[in-house]
Amino acid sequence: MSDRILGGTGIVLSLFFIWQATLIEISPFSDVVGPSAFPIIIGVVLGLSSLYFLVKPDVGPEWPAPARLFEIVMAVAVMVLYAELLPVLGFIIATALASSYLTWRLGTRPLQSVLVGVLTSGGIYLVFRVILGLSLARGPFGF
Amino acid sequence: MEVLASLGDGFSVAFTLQNLMLAALGCFLGTIMGALPGLGPSNGVAILIPLAFTLGLPPTAALILLTSVYYGAMYGGRISSILLNIPGDEPALMTCLDGYPMAQKGRAGEALALSGVASFVGAFLATWGLVFIAPQLVKVALLFGPAEYFALFTLAFATLGGISSTNQAKAAFAAALGLGIAMIGVDGQTGVPRFTFGEVHLYDGIDFLVALVGLFALSEVLIFLEHRHGESEASAKKVEIGRITPSLSMLKYCTPTMLRTSVLGFVAGVLPGAGASLGSFISYSMEKRLVDREGTFGTGDPRGVAAPEAGNNAAAGGALVPMLALGVPGSGTTAVLLAVLLALNITPGPLLFTQNPDVVWGLIAALFIGNFMLLAMNIPMVGMFTRVLLVPPRILMPVVAMVSFVGIYGISGSSFDLLVMVLFGVLGWLLRKLDVPLVPIILGILLGNAMEANLRRAISISDGDWSVLVGSPLAIGLWVIAFVGFILPIIFGAALKRRMKLAASKEDEGELVD
């Protein structure tokens, strides 16, 4: 079933891709082939391969139970939040929060997770900012 | 001997204090990454590319660092195979067969040392092979026109799944997906934006480093999160290491095996679509058939440790031949190394040898140096590397995620890139669940624009005649190989994969079923 969904999605994607490729404006200085031809070829390959596993799907994978899936969605949400908040909070605070969360959800006890998170953040800051001089995001406190 | 003179120049490039330090650091980090289950050479190099890039290292120095990581990871993969019976990466799978039984007999130290020596022999001979074969391939490649290049790129995609691939439709799907992603951005030849949907961030296209780190490193974190209640804690059990120097007689006993499998592995590495996993597999099978008269393979025979290790390291060296000479990688890890070169604004291929000989030969010299360093590091320090296995993944994986973010943020300083990276992480997780290979996606993103440019150049030269794509014997030859390479796995792939799995699961009985 999973493969069928992948195949269906692939076909929709390929049709959308080909449609978008035909919409590319042609510049008057274009070469013989133009900017649309290769994307259309790619779209066709994408569509054909999707069609194959729509018709002949493999045995589907074992999807995680809802609780596990929720875990993954939450982790992704934390990563997105991290990306957004990094410039606002600065590197050390944002990283300590995010890695504490991930460590906790991977099975460390809460208090220990906070410790590991702070150490991870501080360690990365020490190695990459202080020793190697990489520019990391600066928050309101300058780190 | 023109080649040796070039190699000599290479050594003078590589022998600076900074480069030697970088090589040592790379070997050390690489061995650790290879040893950790779940972090293979591809992931290891992927995480470090953005870092080497943002640190502003000069091209040769960055290359030396990252190839040392690559070689180091190939060495490191065996440590967890031998001690825990968990392969650190896919090529190390075959090392479990005899390595773990040796460890159970209290000869873990000997197995580790022997596999270190075998890795060294394989990699050392393969690097010599690279020195002599790559320049010959360059001579052929200089005959290539745009049409041949287009055929060559197609060949790379067609054979990338390898002959152990099970579903070629999924490999084709992945390649098309990667190529499609490469199309995003302003068209290089006419200047019109494509697939940007008016989003200014997309005009430059999707940075392949962002995609690479997301697909490889972040998806790994998600996989770990999914299997949290797995066997992660089991790794803490203590294994007796025993003596860590192999006896001379044992080395002598294994020497013919190491030499044979080095050659075999190298050939497997050079050929498109084979790669290190197959190199170690056929090395082990061949040796078993040749020398296993008493049926000791699979019960802790030292030759069964030496064979796959020499084979897989030789294959890793062999895979560098097409990558450097043609600019077309034949395996996942070399695809990642191609990303390294492109990130440094170096385009591999025949012209690299004439235009940037210092980079090529400096790199090859670095491989030799890295090899000796790895041998020196691995024999006395192997006990230290084994301790790395005790770091629980629940602490390690968040560090991997955070270092990935640091690397990508360091390049552009934009949150947008981080969001794209997370998106690729989720995509990578989904596709891995669905058994869609990730390497063709990366290769598509890397090569898409060059592939299209060659197609358009070929057809512009012929004034719009598409038949130019099959207009020369060389091009036709490449198309034929591409076609055969794509079809072959459909016929043999499933059977071969089954045999590799079977060989791995049958280790208790020590029988390879033919």
- What ipTM, to 2 d.p.? 0.92
* Integer Cα distance of B53 and B410 in angstroms: 9
Instruction: Give B280 or A52, the one with higher predicted confidence.
Output: A52
Q: Please check the confidence at residue B482 and state whether its pLDDT lies above 90.
A: no
Q: Would you state the pLDDT for residue B285? A: 82
Whether residue B511 is predicted with pLDDT greater than 80 in this model: the reply is no
Tell whether A71 is within 8 A of chain B (Cβ).
Answer: yes
Chain B nearest C-alpha distance from A141 (Å): 18
Q: How confident is the model at residue B242 (pLDDT cuts 50, 70, 90)?
A: low
Q: Which of A73, A102, A114, A136 to mutate to test the interface with B (most CBs of B within 10 A)?
A: A102
How would DSSP label each residue in B458-476? HHHHTTS-GGGGG-SHHHH
Residue B186's beta-bridge partner residues?
A: B193
Beta bridge partners, B193, equal B186
The conformation of residue B185, written as its DSSP 8-state character, comes to: E
Q: Tell me whether residues B415 and A50 touch, CB distance under 8 A.
A: no
B89 has pLDDT over 70: no
Quick one: which of B456, B476, B452 has its CA closest to B466? B456
For residue B109, what are its two tokens?
């130290």
Contact B51 A128 (CB under 8 A): yes
Please report residues of A whose CB lies closer than 8 A to that of B218.
79
**What is the mean pLDDT of the segment spanning B48-71?**
81
Residue B193: strand, helix, or coil: strand
Is residue B513 pLDDT above 50, yes or no?
no
A142: its two tokens = 């300058």
Higher pLDDT, A134 or A12: A12
Q: For residue B186, what is the enclosing H or E element?
A: strand B185-186
Nearest-Cα distance to chain A for B186, in Å, is 10
What pLDDT is attached to residue B421?
Answer: 92
The model's confidence at residue B163, banded by pLDDT at 50, 70 and 90, is: low
For residue B224, the chain A residues in CB contact (below 8 A) are 106
- The two counts, helices (H) then strands (E), for chain B are 21, 2
* Cα–Cα distance for residue pair B458/B142, rounded to 1 Å: 16
Which residues, at least 6 apart from B378, have a Cβ–Cβ distance to it below 8 Å? B31, B75, B112, B113, B116, B119, B385
pLDDT band at B236, cuts 50/70/90?
very low
Q: Which residues of A touch B146 (CB under 8 A)?
A: none
Does A82 sit within 8 Å of B190, measured CB to CB?
A: no
Q: Rounded to an integer, what distance in angstroms lies between the CA atom of residue B12 and that of residue B24? A: 17
Residues of chain A contacting residue B150, judged by C-beta atoms under 8 Å apart: none
Partners of residue B394 in chain A, C-beta under 8 Å:
103, 106-108
Is the Cβ–Cβ distance between B407 and A71 less than 8 Å?
no
Cβ–Cβ below 8 Å for B190 and A49: no
A83 has a chain B CB within 8 A of its CB? yes
> From the CA of A142, how many Å to the nearest CA of chain B?
16
Give the distance from CA A126 to its chain's centroid: 27
Percent of chain B clearing pLDDT 70 (strictly above): 88
Where is pLDDT greater, at B58 or B175?
B175
* CA dihedral for B316, B317, B318, B319, sign (positive or negative): positive
Q: Which of A32, A13, A34 is nearest to A22 (CA)?
A: A34
* A74-133 tens-digit pLDDT: 999 999 999 999 888 888 899 999 999 998 888 888 898 999 999 989 988 888 777 777
